[in-house]
Amino acid sequence: MSRYSLWIPVTLLMWLSAGSLQAQESAEKKRPNILFIFTDDHAVNAISASRSRLAGVAPTPNIDRLAHEGAYFVNSFCANSICGPSRATVLTGKHSHLNGFMRNTAKGFDQSQWTVAKALQASGYNTAVIGKWHLNSTPVGFDHWEILPGQGNYYNPVFLQQDGSQRQFNGYCTDLVTDKAIAWLQSRNGNEPFFLMCQHKAPHRTFSPALRHLGSFHEAEIPEPDTLFDDYLNRSSTLAGNEMEIDRHFDWAYDVKLRKDERGDVVLPAPDRYGTPEYSRMTPEQKREWDAYFGPHNREFLARFASGAMTHEELVRWKYRRYMQNYLSTVKAVDESVGRLLQYLDDNDLTDNTVVIYSSDQGFYLGEHGWYDKRWMFEESFRMPFLIRWPGVVKAGRRPEELIQNIDYAPTFLQLAGLDVPSEVQGRSILPILQDRLVEWRDSLYYAYYELGEHAVPQHFGVRTADHKLIHFPVSGEWNLFDLQRDPQELRSVHDDPDYQKVLASMTAEYHRLRSHYAAPPLPPKNN
């Protein structure tokens, strides 16, 4: 036997083993990091990449960077337009009725069920969630978490810690969440890919800007929506009973930063009751800066208001402007946060192997239909932002038109990590769309709203296609059908128009098909 006969296979084996190890390490390196930036109540119209009426007034250059360097999905929607349920849907890839978190008041998110965080953690990802959680529970599936209790506060917020304690931090919530996210990125195990959910309170009510942004939009010409004075005619009778109008329901303390006295007169806030619960949390220095801005503008308004010179429409317009000035200012801090996170990736050679996603738990009304909240299946709250950047994979500047929904987030995260999607997940990965692969995609989306009477918005359910939307109001027994091409503002239901009976029949059939497909629970009974 040659003295080389044993050496060759042994050497070959060693070479193959080394190659296998290198291949394994290479495969691990190829698994991308996932940075998921999630806000609360960020309307698509308040992102300048949406090309909305506000784009020129309130630019969001850092969020827009994701659209310029990646993709902006123009038809991205939620499954249930309310905070907690949307977050449960993101984690599970399932509609609210299946993941069990149907309302904000649900007792607690069922942590025994499968979640994408647990799957990624088990596969070797470093996982963390920082900021707003809002699922009446503490996170599971995360190596690190630090969350706001409930809604959290804008100023000097408390964060729940993993050891069960609570700690209050001095500063502005958006900045603090960003600080904590970056600190975790700096401290994590750099040899493993990461999944970070950086989740902001902003721009949720009470729309309290950072001190540095007070007055940022005071002189801006903020365009009004065409439907600011919607009369709610030609649609469901339930619309007129809503309690989320800037006109009738804007809270003088929470939303306007003024108050009413015991006689019902609008007055300047007392020192300990300045407009918003945030004020009582502020340090003396923070209060002085807040007062220096709001005080003169409030006195100017009150002088005009008390004189009786303001018409009703002028008062509504003033409230709208005050709302938008504060809301857009909170968005400004969010955009700065996105910029800081992107800069961290750039500075630490993480950009090329990190998928960055920007989204929000649902949309929000910025005066459309006269409203300031969410819930309804109308476009402004049904539509949610979804921007994604993945260098080398997602072509820069794309604006896909496929109908996607937040049930699709979890399976997308899984496929990004090279993991299989469980059969219980109801959403689909959007990875084939991002990779420009020919794939048969859905033609319709199902929506369900289960809250019980908050803001006097009834439970309602519906289906949306590219061209039409059908909404069912079981409690009143009404159906509304909208032609989204001819009536994008959804001002007239055509459900009883003879010219739309074929469309109505088709949409109704699709509505029932989706309810069956997603195993939706029975509808609430009709009121007699």
CA 32 to chain centre: 23
Domain presence at residue 11: no
Picking from 439, 462, 477, the residue at the C-terminal end of a domain is: 439
Q: How many domains does the chain have?
A: 3
| Per-residue pLDDT tens digits for 47-61 | 999 999 999 999 999
Domain presence at residue 25: no
Q: What is the pLDDT of residue 19?
A: 42
Is the pLDDT at 374 greater than 60? The verdict is yes
Q: Do 201 and 73 share a domain, yes or no?
A: yes
| Domain span holding position 513 | 449-517
Picking from 439, 457, 475, the residue at the C-terminal end of a domain is: 439
The mean predicted confidence, pLDDT, of the chain is: 92
Is the pLDDT at 115 greater than 90? The verdict is yes
Domain presence at residue 500: yes
Q: Do 68 and 199 share a domain, yes or no?
A: yes
With CA atoms as reference, report the closest residue to 40 among 362, 338, 275. Answer: 362
Picking from 266, 285, 320, the residue at the C-terminal end of a domain is: 320
CATH assignment at residue 381: 3.40.720.10
Q: What is the pLDDT of residue 267?
A: 76
Is the pLDDT at 187 greater than 80? The verdict is yes
Which amino acid, one-letter code, is at 235?
Answer: R
Over residues 470-495, the mean pLDDT reads 98
φ, ψ for residue 276, nearest 5 deg: -150, 145
Domain presence at residue 350: yes
Judge contact between 59 and 377, C-beta under 8 A. Answer: no
Please, which pLDDT band fits residue 14 given cuts at 50, 70 and 90? very low
φ, ψ for residue 285, nearest 5 deg: -65, -45
Over residues 366-370, the mean pLDDT reads 98
Is the pLDDT at 286 greater than 70? The verdict is yes
Q: Please state whether beta strands 404-405 and 445-449 pair in parallel, antiparallel, or not at all (unpaired).
A: unpaired
Q: Do 272 and 345 share a domain, yes or no?
A: no
425-457 burial, b if ≥16 CB within 10 A, otherwise e? bbbbbbbebbeeeeeeeeebbbbbbbbeeebeb
Taking the alpha carbons of 410, 411, 417, 421 in that order, is the dihedral positive or negative?
Answer: positive
pTM to 2 decimals? 0.93
Judge contact between 256 and 250, C-beta under 8 A. Answer: yes
In percent, how much of the chain has pLDDT > 70? 93
| Per-residue pLDDT tens digits for 23-49 | 344 444 589 999 999 999 999 999 999
Domain presence at residue 528: no
More confident of the two residues 25 and 421: 421
Q: Do 113 and 38 share a domain, yes or no?
A: yes
Q: What is the pLDDT of residue 512?
A: 98
Which tokens is 257 given?
């930063």
Domain presence at residue 472: yes
Over residues 373-400, the mean pLDDT reads 97
Q: What is the pLDDT of residue 528?
A: 66
Domain presence at residue 99: yes
Q: Do 105 and 35 share a domain, yes or no?
A: yes
Q: Do 44 and 109 share a domain, yes or no?
A: yes
Q: What is the pLDDT of residue 264?
A: 73
Count Cα neighbours of 212 within 13 Å in the Cβ-side half-sphere: 8
DSSP 3-state of 50: helix
Distance CA 356, CA 449 (A): 29
Q: What is the pLDDT of residue 269?
A: 66
Distance CA 133, CA 337 (A): 18
With CA atoms as reference, report the closest residue to 482 among 235, 134, 316. Answer: 235
Which amino acid, one-letter code, is at 296?
Answer: P
Q: Do 413 and 467 share a domain, yes or no?
A: no
Distance CA 324, CA 225 (A): 12
CB atoms within 10 A of CB 78: 27
Judge contact between 39 and 360, C-beta under 8 A. Answer: yes
Is the pLDDT at 349 greater than 90? The verdict is yes
Is the pLDDT at 10 greater than 80? The verdict is no
Domain presence at residue 308: yes
> DSSP for 301-360?
HHHHHHTT---HHHHHHHHHHHHHHHHHHHHHHHHHHHHHHHHHHHHTT-STTEEEEEEE
Q: Do 93 and 173 share a domain, yes or no?
A: yes
| Per-residue pLDDT tens digits for 290-314 | 989 998 999 999 999 988 889 999 9
Q: Do 348 and 471 share a domain, yes or no?
A: no
Q: Do 183 and 293 share a domain, yes or no?
A: no
Q: Do 242 and 198 share a domain, yes or no?
A: no
Please, which pLDDT band fits residue 7 given cuts at 50, 70 and 90? very low
Q: What is the pLDDT of residue 380?
A: 98
Judge contact between 382 and 447, C-beta under 8 A. Answer: yes
| Per-residue pLDDT tens digits for 240-281 | 999 999 999 998 888 988 877 777 777 776 554 544 678 889
CATH assignment at residue 511: 3.30.1120.10
| Per-residue pLDDT tens digits for 208-228 | 999 999 999 999 999 999 999
48-75 burial, b if ≥16 CB within 10 A, otherwise e? bbbebebbebbebebbbbbbebbbbbbb
More confident of the two residues 267 and 384: 384
Q: What is the pLDDT of residue 225?
A: 98
φ, ψ for residue 334, nearest 5 deg: -60, -45
SS (H, E, C) 227-284: CCCCCCCCCCCCHHHCCCECCCCCCCCCCCCCEECCCCCEECCCCCCCCCHHHHHCCH
Q: What is the pLDDT of residue 11?
A: 40
Over residues 462-471, the mean pLDDT reads 98
Judge contact between 328 and 335, C-beta under 8 A. Answer: no
Over residues 449-456, the mean pLDDT reads 95
> DSSP for 372-402?
-S--SSSHHHHB--EEEE-TTTSPTTB---S
Is the pLDDT at 96 greater than 90? The verdict is yes
Q: Do 39 and 164 share a domain, yes or no?
A: yes
